[in-house]
A and B are shown apart, each in its own frame.
Chain A
């Protein structure tokens, strides 16, 4: 098990190095960084001074190594537009994004599994058809349109929920949370649905398909022949066997939820990292863009590792195949 984790950790490191290289090269492609710092009428000698002080006259591999070493310590340089350390900016915005992603994921998992199990068990029922329709909408409508429709319906027309922002937040250490105030919680509802809808429909479809598949297997037939109760069969034996693919999807999608929160955050003016990134793109704020790229890569890598470990918790067959690699 440990060897397996170490092996995966090395793979993860490889991914991070690659993404780091891409992030680093963004600085080069976006023109001379010195120009971003000095003004147009700065004398050439002074420019050279800045260049040397930033280490920009060193060979490229050394600069890359330095960039990575700083990045590992959480130092991604200073934002061009805000003149603040990028890491401070990201840390300030991170709670908003993570809380939104968390709520969207919980929404997607809970409703996805419930609706999936229901439509797997009652394939022909009216509600199952309703769920199928919802899932079609969730899959086919683009996120920003869903967000705008929800705002139009619940914020503009009905006036039940706020249409933008996080509401009131409370600071706990450096973390600002919207979970502890009523306005913070209501502000989470629409963005979470918008962000999680696609994932929810995906989970629902997978759980439904897996459920139908599993209910046809011999071990379910055998469980019936043993006289187990319908509930034990459906929720004990069948549902657990659908979980491996669900974990895969949830894991892979959790990364996307954070990455694609860019769109939802823009629609709802949600003060998270995604919105920060969009502003950075508009202002060619390379340090923020590069750091965001690295951060998203890190999140993906960590989630993938967690998913691999979770598999082995659910499926004992994987546990032993990992113990003795074939």
Chain B
């Protein structure tokens, strides 16, 4: 099997606060292959963004990686010196954030922001970079890119700005794109276009994509595989068809019940009772046990490790027939 573009092994991230170290990410492992889209879902605070920040080496202080490793095309990047990590960011890993209205510097023309990024990571001349910037804008579907390149961010609509952000992420043909809720802040009408664009670009360039979203509909349409995160851990990870249509983990079951219907009403069809615990109050055993309809004694004392069942891993004691047989799963 070809080497995965991104390989995260047993990642741990802690935020050191006055109340002690809070484990925001507690043993997360996953791979993303070339051209593959990994959807990452889970409630707010599950650790999706922190996982993305850990990969790009941009965890907000006071957070830091306390364990595990991150490999990009086979090479460790979690322990690179800052200056080398800077050269990885933007060049080999492209990042797309939630809000295109605030992602772009309001005082600079989009062309300047593009050429600045291009020239930071390549040897192109000013005119070469400008030409590439125009090509990029064309590729992400901005009409009349040779004119629009000299516009300021506020002269674009939200959807167009997110296209510019995507162009910025693509400046140096990265191997991996991390898109953190790229459509959450957009009008419903343009969400599908942006997702389609991302999917097309990933396919055309063979880019691996980590797509964080709340929107199960987007996942079902776009992702090849899905990771369901809960309280800093992966509850279940597997091919999209299996996880969406036949979720195993009780939390995933609850989430999949929350896919909005086609009629467009976005309220949850089934609601998981309760809310995710704060990091300072994660219960012992399985973090989901207070909300789980299938909870039994073991869940309250022993933390479930991911078990490969039906070929995809799920961290739940329900699926562990023989308590001794726990496999750690790649």
| Interface residue? A57 (CB, 8 A) | no
A222-247 interface code vs B (CB 8 A; 1 in, 0 out):
11111111101000110011000000
Tell me which of B89, B106, B108, B152 contacts A225 (CB under 8 A). B89
Tell me which of A222, A224, A225, A229 contacts B104 (CB under 8 A). A222
Tell me which of B86, B97, B106 contacts A227 (CB under 8 A). B86
On whether A224 and B89 interact (CB within 8 A), knowing A232-B116, A316-B152, the answer reads yes
B90 and A226 contacting across the interface, CB-CB below 8 Å: yes
On whether A222 and B97 interact (CB within 8 A), knowing A228-B116, A316-B107, A320-B154, the answer reads yes
A217 and B87 contacting across the interface, CB-CB below 8 Å: no
On whether A218 and B95 interact (CB within 8 A), knowing A227-B88, A228-B120, A317-B152, the answer reads no
| Interface residue? B3 (CB, 8 A) | no
A320 and B155 contacting across the interface, CB-CB below 8 Å: yes
A240 and B97 contacting across the interface, CB-CB below 8 Å: no
| Interface residue? B193 (CB, 8 A) | no
Tell me which residues across on chain A come within 8 A of B168, comparing CB atoms.
Answer: 222, 226
On whether A227 and B107 interact (CB within 8 A), knowing A222-B165, A316-B152, A317-B154, the answer reads no
| Interface residue? A52 (CB, 8 A) | no
On whether A225 and B58 interact (CB within 8 A), knowing A219-B103, A219-B106, A241-B107, the answer reads yes
B95 and A314 contacting across the interface, CB-CB below 8 Å: no
On whether A316 and B154 interact (CB within 8 A), knowing A225-B56, A229-B86, A237-B105, the answer reads yes
Tell me which residues across on chain A come within 8 A of B120, comparing CB atoms.
Answer: 226-229, 232
Tell me which of A222, A228, A316 contacts B103 (CB under 8 A). A222
Tell me which residues across on chain B come within 8 A of A230, comparing CB atoms.
Answer: 86
Give the distance in Å from the alpha carbon of A228 to the alpha carbon of B154 in the complex. 22
The residue in chain A whose Cβ has the minimal distance to the Cβ of B56 is A225
| Interface residue? A315 (CB, 8 A) | yes
The residue in chain A whose Cβ has the minimal distance to the Cβ of B102 is A218
B36-88 CB contacts (< 8 Å) to partner A: 56, 58, 86-88
Tell me which residues across on chain A come within 8 A of B152, comparing CB atoms.
Answer: 316-317, 320
B104 and A219 contacting across the interface, CB-CB below 8 Å: yes
| Interface residue? A221 (CB, 8 A) | yes
B92-142 CB contacts (< 8 Å) to partner A: 95, 97, 99, 102-109, 116-117, 120-121
| Interface residue? B34 (CB, 8 A) | no
A44-77 CB contacts (< 8 Å) to partner B: none
B271-297 interface code vs A (CB 8 A; 1 in, 0 out):
000000000000000000000000000
How many inter-chain contacts with C-beta < 8 Å in the A-B complex? 75
Give the distance in Å from the alpha carbon of A227 to the alpha carbon of B107 in the complex. 19
Give min CB distance, A322 to chain B, whole Å: 13
On whether A219 and B89 interact (CB within 8 A), knowing A225-B58, A227-B121, A229-B120, the answer reads no
Give min CB distance, A310 to chain B, whole Å: 13
The residue in chain B whose Cβ has the minimal distance to the Cβ of A214 is B105
A316 and B106 contacting across the interface, CB-CB below 8 Å: yes
Tell me which residues across on chain A come within 8 A of B249, comparing CB atoms.
Answer: none
| Interface residue? B91 (CB, 8 A) | yes
Give the distance in Å from the alpha carbon of A47 to the alpha carbon of B242 in the complex. 108
Give the distance in Å from the alpha carbon of A223 to the alpha carbon of B168 in the complex. 10
A223 and B105 contacting across the interface, CB-CB below 8 Å: yes
On whether A314 and B107 interact (CB within 8 A), knowing A226-B120, A320-B155, the answer reads yes
B243-269 interface code vs A (CB 8 A; 1 in, 0 out):
000000000000000000000000000
Give the distance in Å from the alpha carbon of A112 to the alpha carbon of B117 in the complex. 30
| Interface residue? B171 (CB, 8 A) | yes
The residue in chain A whose Cβ has the minimal distance to the Cβ of B91 is A227
A295-326 CB contacts (< 8 Å) to partner B: 314-317, 320
Give the distance in Å from the alpha carbon of A232 to the alpha carbon of B168 in the complex. 16
Give the distance in Å from the alpha carbon of A139 to the alpha carbon of B56 in the complex. 42
Give the distance in Å from the alpha carbon of A102 to the alpha carbon of B176 in the complex. 53
Tell me which residues across on chain B come within 8 A of A224, comparing CB atoms.
Answer: 58, 89
Tell me which residues across on chain A come within 8 A of B169, comparing CB atoms.
Answer: 226
On whether A226 and B105 interact (CB within 8 A), knowing A316-B152, A317-B154, A320-B155, the answer reads no
Tell me which residues across on chain B come within 8 A of A317, comparing CB atoms.
Answer: 106, 152, 154
A218-277 CB contacts (< 8 Å) to partner B: 218-219, 221-230, 232, 236-237, 240-241
On whether A219 and B116 interact (CB within 8 A), knowing A225-B90, A226-B168, the answer reads no
A226 and B155 contacting across the interface, CB-CB below 8 Å: no
Tell me which residues across on chain B come within 8 A of A218, comparing CB atoms.
Answer: 97, 99, 102-103
Give min CB distance, B175 to chain A, whole Å: 14
Identify 19 new A-B residue pairs, CB closer than 8 A, beyond the known A218-B102, A222-B95.
Answer: A219-B104, A219-B106, A221-B58, A222-B97, A222-B103, A226-B89, A226-B120, A226-B169, A227-B89, A227-B117, A227-B120, A227-B121, A228-B116, A241-B105, A241-B107, A315-B106, A316-B154, A317-B152, A320-B152
Chosen A-B contacts, 30 in total, with CB atoms closer than 8 Å, are A218-B97, A218-B99, A218-B102, A219-B104, A219-B106, A221-B58, A222-B103, A223-B105, A224-B58, A225-B56, A226-B90, A226-B120, A226-B169, A227-B90, A227-B91, A227-B117, A227-B120, A227-B121, A228-B90, A228-B120, A237-B105, A237-B108, A240-B107, A241-B107, A314-B107, A315-B106, A316-B107, A316-B109, A316-B152, A316-B154
A binding-site residues for B, Cβ under 8 Å = 217-219, 221-230, 232, 236-237, 240-241, 314-317, 320
Cβ-closest 3 pairs across A and B: A227-B90, A225-B95, A227-B89
